[in-house]
Structure 1
Amino acid sequence: MHPDIEELLHRFEKGDRFLMLLVGRARWFETDDGGVFTSFRAEEFTVVDKDRYTHWLVDTAAATLRRLDAFEASMESDLTPAALEASGVPRDLVDGLILARGHYGEFDTENYRVGVLQGLSMALGSNAVIESAPAPEASGDQPTLAESVTEADDGGVASLESDPEKDVNEVILETILQRDEGSGVDYDTLVHACVMAGHQRETAEDAIDHLRDVDGAIIEPRFSFFQLLPE
């Protein structure tokens, strides 16, 4: 495995970009002060084409929205198989939903719907980022995946300029300066700000790495959170 992964790393360092499926074992541990750290041991990998990745993404998005619909349908129901099925929860999701309700409690599903649609937008190569999820219809029925994407394309997407007015590094530094309240600004927020300013996601990711590892203008005091280098 090592020679193959070294070849891919060499391609990546030369500027090549590709989609890769990675299989491995994950582990996590929690420190005494409440910090959670994760690690991943890769065991197998392969490069996949855009069509296959898109197919997997759409399947995953549809399954996620289906589980969110089931969760919302269960909120006014007793946590018994018969009651959940009567409330409209698919039979194959009942057992898992009982465990999920006991573990997670109540939460706002809209944030997850937005995440699904943002992932679809970025992965499908759209020059847009979905800012808000489509509002549920008055009847309470939740939109299907196709309906959600259509509604987002019609009214929930902010089109971006093809020619950015600001340098990507400037966008990152300004975003950290404006939004850091002491604990840093998370990676996704920085990438989102760059995309909204008209830059490609890959450009934003490379710029974050360069500002941290080469320029030394930003630091990463904890995983995936960034701050300006103290003067």
Structure 2
Amino acid sequence: MVEREVAHRMFAQEFNDSRFNLYSNSSLPGNQEVYSPNFLISPTGLKVNRVFVVGVITEVDRLSDQNGSEKELWRARISDPTGAFTVYAGSYQPEASVFLSTVSVPSYVMVLGKVRSYEPGDGSVYVSLRPEEINYVDESVRDRWIVDTAEMTLERLDAFDRFFSSSIGTEKLMDRIKSCNIPQTLASGMCLSLDYYHKDKEYYDSLKCVLKKALCSIGASLDNPEDEPDYESIVQSILETLDDGGGFDYSKYIGEAVSQKIPQSIADSTLKSLLSKGHIYEPKAGLFKVIH
């Protein structure tokens, strides 16, 4: 019996930046006797075959014209604070297909899925997930996932910091990585990543900024002074009143906020804050919907 690979946590930006596929020998012609998984190598050296994702499902499309057939295929987008994962479910994922056919958009969901890559031949690589499990969750689960994923990503980024801070010698790349006291499990992925992506220190520093924004999105903000209104709660109440299921227009929201004596600049910034935290989403420019 072959054990399943660990499902790793990673943000959408890193997942979508990943282009390097490490194929096993068993995936090649004539090697079908022993199964060995393929891996996607991320820029931070993560070797992934399966991914655990929690976010907001913002889009669902049926790509086939027939229900219940082998050609049935659904596509969904699961958004986190850094971007969006693309998820495909077909006849070989019947439970996921049923879920996507009835899911309420937008909603918080978790997806446990296998990595899939498509290379059309022009040098580009498109990555997606095929769900093994998909279910509703609540905001607290999403927030916990963001914290855990940020911590795990930061551990890998710290390893790259140690690597770039080390002196450059004549030793081989793997030997230089090991000299930085980096665990073997991460060192092999780092070696593959550095050799393939050729990213510099500035790239990994920029990912730290992405992590900071992701953590800020879950509401780790200072308490309001006693004499300042809780604009976020007031705006949230306004949005829930405006959204009758079909969403609400930006200009209508601003008009209502101003009528309740909220300065326009604060109304605009508060709306953006709620958007970044995943309380609302923007299915198209100028139209917003509340996530219940």
What's the TM-score, normalizing by structure 2?
Answer: 0.40
Q: Larger helix proportion, structure 1 or 2?
A: 1
Larger Rg: 2
* Larger RCO of the pair (alpha carbons < 8 Å, separation 6+): 2
Q: Larger strand proportion, structure 1 or 2?
A: 2
What's the TM-score, normalizing by structure 1?
Answer: 0.49
